[in-house]
Chain A
Amino acid sequence: MSERRLYIDPSRCIGCNACVEACSECETHAGFSMIHLETIQRGDTVQTTPVVCMHCDDPACAAVCPADAIKRTPDGAVQTSLKPRCIGCSNCVFACPFGVPKYHAGYDQMMKCDLCYDRTSVGKKPMCATVCPSQAILYGTPEEIAQGRRGTPINEFVFGGTTVRTKVSLMMPHGTDRLDVKRSAIVRKSDLIQLARVQSE
Chain B
Amino acid sequence: MAKLPVPVSQIVAEFGPTLNDEPVGGWRGRGEPDKLVKTHCCFCGQQCGIQLKVRDNRVIGFEPWEEFPFNKGKLCPKGVKRYMQNNHPDRLLAPLKRVEGKGFVPIQWEEAFSTTVREIQRVQSQYGKDAVAFLSGVSLTNEKSYLAGKFARLALQTKELDYNGRLCMVSAGAGNKKAFGVDRAANYWDDILLADVILCTGTNVAECSPITTDYIWRARDRGAKLIMIDPRVTPMVRTCDLHLPIRPGTDSALMTAILRVLIEEGFVNEEFVREHTNGWEETRQVALETSLEEASRICGVHVDDIVKAGRMWGAAKTSFLLHARGIEHQVKGVDNVLSCINIVLATGRIGRPGCGYGTITGQGNGQGGREHGHKCDQLPGNREIENPEHRAYICGVWGIEDSELPHAGHTAQEIMNMIHEGEIKALISICFNPLVSLPDSNFTREALSRLEHFTAIDFFLSETAHHADIVMAGSLHEEEEGTSTSAEGRVIRIRQAVTPPGDAKTDTSILLELARRLGRGQYFQFESSEDIFNELRVASKGGTADYYGITYDRIEKEMGVFWPCPEIGHPGTPRLFEDLQFSKPGGRAVFNPTPYRPPAEETDEEYPVILTTGRVVSQYLSGTQTRRLGGLVELCPEPYVEIHPSLASEHGIADGDWMTVESRRGRVTLRAKVVTTIRPDTVFIPYHWPGKKSANNLTGRFLDPVSKIPEFKRSVVRIRKAEGAGPQED
Chain A nearest CB from B617 CB (Å) reads 5
Q: Which residues of B contact A44 (CB under 8 A)?
A: 675-677
How many of chain A's residues touch chain B, expressed as a range?
Answer: 35 or more
Q: Do B206 and A134 touch across chains, with their CB atoms under 8 A apart? A: yes
**In the complex, are the beta carbons of A148 and B210 less than 8 A apart?**
no
**Roughly how many angstroms separate A42 CA and B352 CA in the complex, as a whole number?**
41
- A89 in contact (CB, < 8 A): no
B617 touches A15 (CB 8 A): yes
Which A residues are in CB contact (< 8 Å) with B73? 125, 130-131
Listed residue (A11, A16, A127) with the most chain B CB atoms within 10 angstroms of its CB: A16
Contact with B654, one of A31, A125, A197 (Cβ below 8 angstroms) = A197
Q: Are B80 and A131 interface neighbours, CB within 8 A?
A: yes
Is the beta-carbon distance between A193 and B654 smaller than 8 angstroms?
A: yes
Q: A16 and B28 in contact (CB under 8 A), knowing A43-B655, A133-B76?
A: no
Residue interface mask B204-219, A partner, CB < 8 A = 1: 0011001101100110
**B22 in contact with A196 (CB, 8 Å):** no
Interface residues of B in 226-282 (CB under 8 A from A): 233-239
* Chain B neighbourhood of A24, CB < 8 A: 631
Q: Do residues A22 and B655 form an inter-chain contact, with CB atoms below 8 A? A: no
**Which residue of chain A is the closest to B223 with respect to CB atoms?**
A150
Q: Which residues of B lie under 8 Å from residue A45 when comparing CB positions? A: 233, 238, 677
- Which residues in window 49-84 of B have CB below 8 A to A? 61-62, 64, 66, 73-77, 79-81
Stretch touching chain A among B457-465, B645-653, B663-671: B645-653
Say which size band chain B's interface belongs to: 35 or more
Set of chain A residues within 8 Å of B618, measured between Cβ atoms = 16-17
Residues of A within 8 A of B635 (CB): 17, 21
Q: B674 an interface residue at 8 Å Cβ cutoff?
A: yes
Q: Output the least CB separation between A94 and chain B (Å).
A: 26
A46 at the interface (CB under 8 A from B): yes
Which B residues between 434 and 481 are near A, CB-CB below 8 angstroms? none
Q: Tell whether A189 pairs with B676 under 8 Å between CB atoms, given A45-B233, A148-B221.
A: yes
Take A17-B635, A131-B75 as given contacts and tell me if A30 and B27 are in contact as well, using a CB distance cutoff of 8 Å: yes
Contact across chains for B210 and A150 when beta carbons are under 8 A apart:
no
For A13, the chain B residues whose CB sits under 8 A away are: 235
B74 near A25 with CB under 8 A, answer no
Q: What residues on B are CB-neighbors of A127 within 8 Å?
A: 64
B372 within 8 Å of A by Cβ? no
Which of A47, A148, A193 is in CB contact (< 8 Å) with B649?
A193
Least CB distance from A107 to B in Å reads: 11
CB <8 Å contact, A14 and B213: yes
For window 127-150 of chain A, which residues contact chain B by CB distance below 8 Å? 127, 130-135, 148-150
Cα distance, A67 to B80, chains bound together (Å): 36
Interchain CB contact under 8 A, B617 and A43:
no
Q: How far is the CA of A58 from the CA of B221 in the complex (A)?
A: 33
Are B235 and A21 in contact, with the CB atoms below 8 A? no
Taking a contact as CB atoms closer than 8 A, the residue among A46, A149, A194 that contacts B235 in the complex is A46
Q: Would you list the 10 A-B pairs with minimal beta carbon distance, nearest first?
A: A133-B210, A30-B27, A14-B206, A31-B27, A14-B235, A197-B654, A134-B213, A21-B80, A21-B77, A131-B75
Given contacts A18-B75, A131-B76, 15 further A-B contacts (CB under 8 A): A13-B235, A17-B77, A18-B210, A25-B61, A25-B80, A42-B675, A130-B73, A131-B73, A131-B74, A133-B75, A134-B210, A134-B214, A135-B217, A193-B645, A193-B648
18 A-B pairs within 8 Å (CB atoms) are namely: A11-B239, A12-B213, A14-B213, A16-B210, A17-B77, A17-B618, A17-B635, A21-B80, A21-B632, A22-B75, A43-B645, A43-B674, A46-B237, A132-B74, A134-B213, A150-B221, A189-B645, A196-B654
